């Protein structure tokens, strides 16, 4: 058991050699729809411009219920989840506790806080092993995250995740639903709002003043497809709640991936702020 946990903790440093394949153009095929006149065009052009000249494979998903706006780019493409999956782990823990009619224990709360606010791998190992893959799959089914595949060997960071499924998860945090109750939703957002400063990059970039940001990021280097760098956020304020997910791979460095994500985030926040 000790060796299994140790191996899982090292997932973010695990380099598995796979045959590399050519990376896609970052900006190919951005699509947007909106109930607000002109907003879809503004977003599509802004995201496309933000990704122009960027290398790697990038997936984008945006949902703003206030204006009935959605944008998508490769939102069904599967990526190694890295630490973004930690929100799914917390969602599973809370969903399982709800079904049992119990609150989280003091130990579980400490582990959850460490896992989300500091992205602690050791805390994630403990909760992942406590829950087991079967419960994670149960939560994914309840959340309708049908394209997410948890890694069966204990490497939670190698769970396969799509931007569309991650948006389904953030959507559960953004409003009432039958999967996570109000207390659970509030708890997850509280922790995502307390992520340490050094990890509050990504989709938070360019968020307007007065908008509360809740974010969880992930990063993972591998020999094939370079750095995976991801960011997923829930943004609340100015009379709206919207969610943004950007997943990427084929980055030459973590910094390069962060820059790509932040270019997209600035374009999205800027377009939405005009429509408030």
Per-residue pLDDT of the chain (276 residues; tens, 9 = 90+): 444 443 444 444 343 333 333 344 565 699 999 999 999 999 999 999 999 999 999 999 999 999 999 999 999 999 999 999 999 999 999 999 999 999 999 999 999 999 999 999 999 999 999 999 999 999 999 999 999 999 877 799 999 999 999 999 999 999 999 999 999 999 999 999 999 999 999 999 999 999 999 999 999 999 888 999 999 999 999 889 999 999 999 999 999 999 999 999 999 999 998 755
pTM of the predicted protein model: 0.90
What is residue 198's predicted lDDT score, i.e. its pLDDT?
97
Consecutive H or E run containing 271: helix 254-274
Overall CATH class of domain 2-13+30-274: alpha beta
Q: Is 183 exposed, middle or buried (0-12, 13-18, 19+ CB in 10 A)?
A: exposed
Annotate 33-69 with b (16+ C-beta within 10 A) or e (fewer): ebebeebbebbbebbbebbeebbbbbbbbbbbeebeb
What is residue 239's predicted lDDT score, i.e. its pLDDT?
87
What is residue 22's predicted lDDT score, i.e. its pLDDT?
39
Which residues, 6+ apart, have CB-to-CB distance to 55 below 8 Å?
23, 26, 250, 251, 252, 256
């Amino acid at each position: 058991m000790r060796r299994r946990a140790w191996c899982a903790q090292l997932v973010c440093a695990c380099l598995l050699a796979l045959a590399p394949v050519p990376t896609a153009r970052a900006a190919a095929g951005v699509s947007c729809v909106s109930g607000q006149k002109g907003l879809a065009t503004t977003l599509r052009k802004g995201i496309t411009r933000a990704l122009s000249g960027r290398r790697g494979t990038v997936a984008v998903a945006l949902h703003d219920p206030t204006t009935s706006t959605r944008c998508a780019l490769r939102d069904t493409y599967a990526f190694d989840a890295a630490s973004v999956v930690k929100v799914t782990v917390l969602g599973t823990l809370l969903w399982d506790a709800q079904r049992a009619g119990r609150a989280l224990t003091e130990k579980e709360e400490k582990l959850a806080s460490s896992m989300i606010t500091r992205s602690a791998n050791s805390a994630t190992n403990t909760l992942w092993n406590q829950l087991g893959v079967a419960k994670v799959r149960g939560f994914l089914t309840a959340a309708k995250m049908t394209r997410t595949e948890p890694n069966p060997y204990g490497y939670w960071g190698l769970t396969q995740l799509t931007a569309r499924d991650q948006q389904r998860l953030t959507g559960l945090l953004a409003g009432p639903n039958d999967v996570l109750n109000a207390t659970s939703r509030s708890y997850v957002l509280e922790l995502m709002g307390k992520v340490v400063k050094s990890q509050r990059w990504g989709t938070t970039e360019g968020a307007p003043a007065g908008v509360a940001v809740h974010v969880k990021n992930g990063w993972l280097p591998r020999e094939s497809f370079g750095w995976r760098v991801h960011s997923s956020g829930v943004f609340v304020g100015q009379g709206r709640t919207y969610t943004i997910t950007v997943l990427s791979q084929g980055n030459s460095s973590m910094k390069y991936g962060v820059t790509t994500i932040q270019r997209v985030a600035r374009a999205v926040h800027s377009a939405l702020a005009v429509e408030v």
